[in-house]
Amino acid sequence: MVVPQMGVVEEFIVLQWHVDDGSSVSEGQVLATIETEKAEVEVESPATGKLEILIPAGPEPVQVSETLGSIGTG
């Protein structure tokens, strides 16, 4: 699960995860809120499965190309 490119934004901060690590999630469910220089954005699940959070919420900047988490569908 990677945050898609949003214009010229290169990094963001994960403000909050709305589900716990290991939780079952549904496609389209809001999983996290991230903050860029200009806006807060909700990140939705791209699939149905079990969430593994790879980058916790916190003040550390995250590059757009980094993987926030993965959704296990098996």
Encode pLDDT of 27-39 as tens digits.
Answer: 999 999 999 888 8
pTM of the model: 0.87
In Å, what is the CA distance from 44 to each residue of 31, 34, 49? 5, 11, 13
Spell out the CATH class of 11-72.
mainly beta
Encode pLDDT of 14-61 as tens digits.
Answer: 999 999 999 999 999 999 999 988 889 899 999 999 999 999 999 999
Boundaries of every domain in the chain: 11-72
